[in-house]
Amino acid sequence: MTISEKILAYASGEEYVKPGDIVEAKVDMAMINEITGPLAIQMFKRIGLEKVWDNQRIVLVLDHQVPADSVRSAELHKIMRAFAKEQNIPYLYDVGNGGICHQVMVERGHVRPGELIVGADSHTCTYGALGAFATGIGSTEMAAVFATGKIWLKVPSTIKINVSGAFRELVTPKDLILHIIGKVGADGATYKAIEFAGPTISEMDISGRLTLCNMAVEMGAKTGIIEPDEKTIQYVRERTDKQFKIFKSDRDAAYEKTLEFNVDDLEPMVACPHSVDNVRPVKDVEGVEIDQAFLGSCTNGRLEDLELAARILRGRRVNKGVRMIVTPASSEVYLQALRRGLLEVFVEAGAYVCNPTCGACFGGHMGLLAAGEVCISSSNRNFIGRMGSPEAKIYLASPATVAASAVEGKIIDPRRFMGR
């Protein structure tokens, strides 16, 4: 079996499962945020139960519209706080103590290898970077998980993506995943498990692996996953003392197909409007003028991303006419960036540093785009209307490309800043 099949077999008490099987699996952790959570809470109450199945296995995060930007969002926050209190749920990450849900889940020790984790958010697949089977589900489905601690799942077939080679300077895992999505297509892996493997993945740090798995859903995948190794185990053990079980794919595991990618000659990539699979090398779209540059999100708002952008911004200024918005992915990342002087670099360059929040990424809070405006973003989606006006245009790129473009005032290959 593959690692995904092994985790689902273990969670459902089966010795063996295969793609297409329907399993009733026990959930290890369940997460909601204030956009999807209130509906799940409402539906749970309609079921008529007084208590959730396990208050130690539920995580509530306020992250999308934080702090509240309207009475409506304040009411949603209130519902989340009241539910945490009513159910005595210890893991409520409120304003000022958390950040973007997917970053909070991994850095606060709520994700462990071998677990089945569900979240009422499509980018829950991020957690596969730590060797868990993690997937997004709907709010009403989450209500059933709150009641029973179980979920019905169809076992997905697995596409294995082997990656070899070494990244050149200022070429990143974000460029790799954009390249992969461009080749596979936005619907090329619908309801599949994407298993990333190969020497390049082994060399990659946890931050890069999180970026890859985060965007697996942009190919339609049910999850993205990477076999846990020593880097994984060290990362997890630094954050939790709970026990976990390691699963790895068998050598004779059956894959739907295996795709090979090499990064030796990979260039900085960009996903052009209005689809994540409309991918080209940055050099092909150089010169497109921008109004906004966004650095942040659950894809690329980690410390490593901020450090990379700061390398380019240090001693430079954001171009006149461009606004640059920086949102660290969590309070922990914010503090680390503060202590390392990165926030000072951003502010001195003319960027606007915001609190940890989903913010501009989903067009619900801070940094929205007006009609006709162009944004280059380190986030994960560039759908029509994603960041504000349906008449705006969004280009997705790495933190290096975002920072370089902010300085230049137009999309540019960040490698042009090497040695400058």
pLDDT tens for each residue of 98-119:
999 999 999 999 999 999 999 9
DSSP run (H or E) holding 393: strand 393-396
State whether residue 25 is helix, strand or coil: strand
257-262 β-sheet, strand order = 223-226, 193-197, 158-164, 257-262
Q: What pLDDT sits at residue 420?
A: 62
Confidence (pLDDT) at 359 = 82
Kindly give the parts of the chain with pLDDT less than 70: 419-420
Phi, psi (degrees; rounded to nearest 5) at 43 = -70, -35
Compute the distance between CA of residue 281 and CA of residue 269 in angstroms, rounded to an integer: 4
pLDDT of residue 270: 98
pTM: 0.94
269-417 adopts what CATH topology? Aconitase; domain 3 (3.30.499)
User: Which residues partner with 69 through β-bridges?
Assistant: none
CA 140 to chain centre: 22
Rounded to an integer, what distance in angstroms lies between the CA atom of residue 246 and that of residue 219?
Answer: 26
CATH topology of domain 3-261: Aconitase; domain 3 (3.30.499)
Q: What whole-number distance in Å separates Cα of residue 88 and Cα of residue 347?
A: 40
Residue 381 Rama label (left phi>0; alpha psi -120 to 50; beta): beta
- For CATH 3.30.499.10, the residue range(s) in the chain are 3-261, 269-417
Three-state DSSP string of 197-260: ECHHHHHCCHHHHHHHHHHHHHHCCCEEEECCCHHHHHHHHCCCCCCCCCCCCCCCCCCCEEEE
pLDDT at 332: 96
| Alpha-carbon distances of 12 from 27, 126, 189, 221, 222, rounded to whole Å | 9, 22, 24, 21, 18
Give the pLDDT score at 329: 96
